Amino acid sequence: MSWKKLLQDNKVHRHRTGRQELNEIRRLVARDLTDAAIPALSEDRRFATAYNAALQTAKMAIACAGYRIASVPGHHRLTFEGAKLALGKPAEHLADYFDACRRKRNEIDYTGAAIATTTEADELLLHAKAFLNLVEGWISSTHPALKA
């Protein structure tokens, strides 16, 4: 997959981001990471909330790379693929992990309850935090005007 192919297929659009847009996304990510750590929430909700933090973090990387994922079927999967394109090798393992979590998050939000375990929710939260650190480091080094 490449940006060129995604553009041709109308799965992404060119996009110019700015500090204000990224700061709005950063606020969403911070909120979701905080909420996902609340032990009183169900494991399902903690899992889904940590997943959203990772999704929004991927969106930051894509925006900095000059793109926005189109509102098409499979846009969550495309978001993690786009993060791999933007960030390269360092993001591959985490993006693949989040894509696997996407399927579980779909099950949680659309078909059932008591799907995620405490261990899965805790693990996803740790990976979402690590991903945020990776993306913020990448932004600082490749797009210093947009750093937090």
pLDDT digits (tens, 9 = 90+) for 87-146: 999 899 999 999 999 999 999 988 888 999 999 999 999 999 999 999 999 999 999 999
Domains and CATH numbers, the chain: 3-141 (1.20.120.330)
Query: Would you place residue 4 in the very low, low, confident or very high pLDDT band (cuts 50, 70, 90)?
Result: very high
Asked if 79 and 127 count as a contact pair (C-beta separation under 8 A), the reply is no
- Among 31, 40, 81, 30, which residue's Cα sits nearest to residue 58? 81
| pTM for this model (two decimals) | 0.95
Q: What's the Rg (C-alpha) of the chain?
A: 15
pLDDT digits (tens, 9 = 90+) for 79-89: 999 999 999 99
Token pair for 9: 């297929």
Cα(69)–Cα(53) distance, integer angstroms: 16
Between 51 and 111, name the one with better pLDDT: 51
Asked if 139 and 91 count as a contact pair (C-beta separation under 8 A), the reply is no
Cα(66)–Cα(120) distance, integer angstroms: 33
